[in-house]
Amino acid sequence: MNVIRNILNSRSDKNGNFFSKIQKILNFKPRNIKPYEKAFTHRSLNLKDHKGNAVNFERLEFLGDAMLSSVIAAHLFKEVPEGNEGYLTKMRAKVVSRKHLNELGKDLKLIELVKTNIPKSQFGINIHGNLFEALIGAIYLDRGFVYCERFIKEAVIDPYVDIESLEGQIISYKSLLIEWCQKEKKVFNYEVYEDTGRDEMKHFAVKLWIDEKVIAKARATSKKKAEEKASKRAYFAFQSKINI
C-alpha cells in the first residue's frame, strides 16, 4: 500500500509534469519522486528539512558519483580482462571525466528541471555533470542498484563506452605532459599570473617552460584552465615525441 501511495502522490497535479519529464529521461516509472525533486534543487533556495538539514542536490551528487564509478569499473573489469589496475583506472577516469559528464547532462537537458533562485545563465559548465550524478544518486535511493546500473548502461555505456576509442582519448594534457617530462628528465614549470586584460571576468595567463624555454602560452578564467590550455598547445608541439 505504501508503494502505491507513493506513486499516486508523486503523480499529483503539482508534480505531474515533473514526474512525466523524469520518467521520459529514465525510461521507467519512479516509485518515489522525492529523491528526484531533491536532485534538481539548487542550494540557492536555502531549503531545509524538518531536522534542519540542507535540501539540495549536493549530497546526491556524491552518491551518484560513487554509483557511476562502481558500475563503470565493473564493466571495464569484465570487458578488458587483460587490463591491469593502472590501465583500468585510466579508462574509468576517461568515462567519468568532468567533460564527459557535462556532455551527458547537457544532452539530457537536465538544467531545464533545476529549481533555483539565481539565473541559470550564471551557472558554470559543471552544473550539467553535477546534475547527472545527482540524478544517478536519486535513482539509487528510489529503485536500488539494479535500476541504477540499468540507467548507467543505457545512458552511458551503450552509447559512449567504446574501448578502442577511449584508449586514444586524452583527458588531461597537463598530466600527460608532466608524465612525459618526468620520464624524459626534462625540467618544466608553469608560470601563472593574473592577466591585466580588459575582460569583464578576471583572467589568468600562463607560460609553460620546458628546459628553460617557453614552449606555450595561454590565458583563461582560471589557473587550472590556463595550465591545461598551455599543456595542450605544448603537447601538439611535442606530439611526435610523446608516446601516449
Higher pLDDT: 122 or 239? It is: 122
Res 25: pLDDT? 96
All cell numbers assigned to 137: 544518486
Spot the catalytic one: 13, 37, 49, 65.
65
Is residue 7 scored above 70 in pLDDT? no
- Cite the beta strand spans of the chain per DSSP E: 188-195, 203-210, 213-220
Q: For residues 11-34, give the mean pLDDT.
A: 84
Residue 19 amino acid letter: F
Q: In whole angstroms, how far apart are CA 12 and each of 25, 56, 176? A: 19, 22, 52
65 is catalytic: yes
Long-range CB pairs of 10-18, under 8 A, 24+ apart, other chains included = 10/34, 18/113
For 110-139, what is each residue's pLDDT tens digit? 999 999 999 998 899 999 999 999 999 999
Question: Using one digit for the tens of pLDDT, what is the confidence trace for 25-38?
Answer: 999 999 999 999 99
Of the candidates 215, 219, 209, 220, the residue with the CA atom closest to the CA atom of residue 237:
215
What three-state secondary structure class fits 47?
Answer: coil
**Residue whose C-alpha is closest to residue 18's, from 160, 106, 159, 138:** 138
Indicate the pLDDT class of residue 200, thresholds 50, 70 and 90: low
Q: Name the phi and psi angles at 213, rounded to 5.
A: -125, 140
Half-sphere exposure of 138 (CA within 13 A, CB side): 27
- Measured distance CA(67)–CA(114) in Å, rounded: 22
Cβ contact 206:217 at 8 Å: yes
Closest among 122, 127, 134 to 103, alpha carbons compared: 127
133 an active-site residue?
yes
pLDDT reading at 9 higher than 80: no
Catalytic one of 61, 133, 149, 227: 133
Alpha helices in 119-219 (DSSP H): 127-143, 145-152, 158-160, 163-167, 173-183
Q: DSSP character for 96?
A: T
CA proximity to 186, closest of 234, 145, 123, 223: 234
37-53: buried (b, 16+ CB within 10 Å) or exposed (e) per residue?
Answer: bbbbbbeeeeeeeeeee
Q: Residue 109 pLDDT more than 50?
A: yes
What the chain holds in terms of domains, given with CATH numbers, is 2-167 (1.10.1520.10), 173-237 (3.30.160.20)
- The cell numbers describing 113, all together, are 528541471
Q: What is the pTM of this model?
A: 0.70
